[in-house]
């Protein structure tokens, strides 16, 4: 049984992409100039402001409004981590992306709920991914919570020796690997040092449900479910996952309740 499409996907022109006004912060002039230049080349970035220190960044923020901050971590005086902690107390803090040569601060970044963690030397495609995440966060705020939002939890993952922050909203399903869990997105997967049971407890309120002792899935990413000869499966991101008998009824009830309001409103 296929589930109805999400609201807003049944026709009409796609919304115009968000044009961002961003602030780049780095105490090293060559690195700052390069970051400003790279950000300025991105089609979703309309204007790039710059600051050579954390203190200068605060002065800019008191005078002008920005949509996001691309911030070095290790700076004399007010460090990037210090500045991020100050920004966390703002009533409407702009999303923060750390741009740094030091990957050991990824856990601190995770605790500060920054949008992304980009390692130097910065690659165009990696910076483009960070801009995409920022745009999602900004659009989510403007739409009152649609898409990725400022309270969308992130988790530190590693890919090719690079630490990064993965928003929970990107995760489609999770697979148990002993004391580890593998997070699956639309295009990649990441192994994290956390048991599936812990994620199931922590992410339950965010729409993740246990369908099997080995699988945790995001309700919003279930495309269809199938029942044949007493065997129930769901399709998530093109993958067919087994639903255990003990979880079948609860999952079916959740999916039916999720589909009913849309069915009534669909005409």
Q: What is the pLDDT of residue 264?
A: 45
In this model, does residue 31 exceed pLDDT 90?
A: yes
Inside any domain, residue 85: yes
Same domain, 135 and 196: no
| pLDDT at site 17 | 61
Provide the residue range defining the domain that includes 134. Answer: 20-165
Last residue of a domain, one of 165, 180, 208: 165
- For the ranges 57-71, 156-170, 245-259, the one whose mean pLDDT is highest: 57-71
Among 147, 165, 183, the domain boundary falls at 165
In a domain, residue 7? The reply is no
The answer to the question of residue 242 being in a domain is: yes
Question: 116 and 29, same structural domain?
Answer: yes
Clarify whether residues 74 and 184 are in a common domain: no
Contact 51, 25 (CB under 8 A): yes
What is the pLDDT confidence band of residue 34, given thresholds at 50, 70 and 90?
Answer: very high
Q: How does residue 146 score in pLDDT terms, banded at 50, 70 and 90?
A: very low
pLDDT bin (cut points 50, 70, 90) of residue 151 is low
Residue-wise pLDDT tens digits, 98-122? 998 887 777 677 677 788 888 899 9
Q: What are the pLDDT digits (tens) for 226-235?
A: 888 888 999 9
Indicate if 156 and 180 belong to the same structural domain: no
Tell the residue number behind the tokens 């807003």, with chain if given. Answer: 8
Phi, psi of 183 (to 5 degrees): -90, 125
Could you count the other beta carbons within 10 Å of the beta carbon of residue 236?
22
* Of 25, 31, 28, 29, the residue nearest 71 (C-alpha): 25
Q: How far is CA 16 from CA 19, 78, 135, 150, 244, in A?
A: 9, 37, 12, 21, 42
- Total domain count, the chain: 2
pLDDT top residue among 114 and 258: 114
Mean pLDDT of 71-95: 88
Contact 1, 225 (CB under 8 A): yes
User: Within this chain, do residues 131 and 69 fall inside the same structural domain, yes or no?
Assistant: yes
| DSSP reduced 3-state for 62 | helix
pLDDT at 20 over 90: yes
> Is residue 12 in a domain?
no
Q: How far apart are alpha carbons 75 and 72 in whole angstroms?
A: 7
Are 111 and 72 part of one and the same domain? yes
Number of H helices, E strands in the chain: 7, 15
Quick one: pLDDT at residue 143?
A: 55
Average pLDDT, the chain: 82
**Last residue of a domain, which of 130, 165, 200?**
165
Average pLDDT over residues 235-239: 89
Please write the tens of the pLDDT for every residue from 190-212.
888 888 998 888 888 888 999 99
């Amino acid at each position: 049984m296929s589930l109805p499409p999400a609201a807003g996907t049944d026709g009409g022109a796609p919304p115009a992409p968000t044009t961002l006004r961003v602030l780049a912060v780095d105490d090293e002039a060559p690195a700052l100039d390069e970051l400003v230049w790279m950000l300025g080349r991105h089609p979703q970035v309309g204007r790039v402001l710059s600051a050579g220190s954390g203190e200068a960044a605060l002065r800019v923020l008191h005078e002008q409004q920005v949509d996001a901050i691309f911030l070095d971590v290790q700076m004399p005086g007010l460090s990037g981590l210090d500045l991020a902690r100050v920004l966390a107390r703002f009533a409407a803090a702009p999303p923060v992306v750390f741009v740094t040569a030091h990957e050991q601060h990824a856990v601190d970044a995770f605790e500060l709920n920054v949008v992304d963690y980009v390692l130097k030397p910065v690659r165009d495609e990696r910076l483009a991914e960070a801009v995409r995440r920022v745009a999602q966060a900004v659009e989510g705020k403007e739409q009152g919570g649609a898409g990725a939002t400022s309270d969308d939890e992130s988790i530190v993952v590693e890919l090719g020796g690079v630490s990064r922050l993965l928003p929970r909203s990107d995760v489609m399903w999770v697979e148990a690997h002993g004391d580890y869990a593998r997070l699956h997105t639309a295009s990649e997967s990441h192994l994290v040092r956390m048991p599936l049971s812990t994620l199931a407890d922590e992410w339950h309120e965010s729409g993740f449900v246990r369908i099997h002792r080995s699988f945790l899935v995001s309700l919003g990413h279930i495309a269809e479910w199938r029942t044949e000869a007493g065997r129930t499966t769901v399709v998530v991101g093109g993958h067919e996952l087994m639903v255990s008998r003990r979880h079948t009824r609860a999952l079916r009830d959740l999916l039916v309740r999720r589909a009913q309001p849309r069915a009534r409103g669909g005409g």
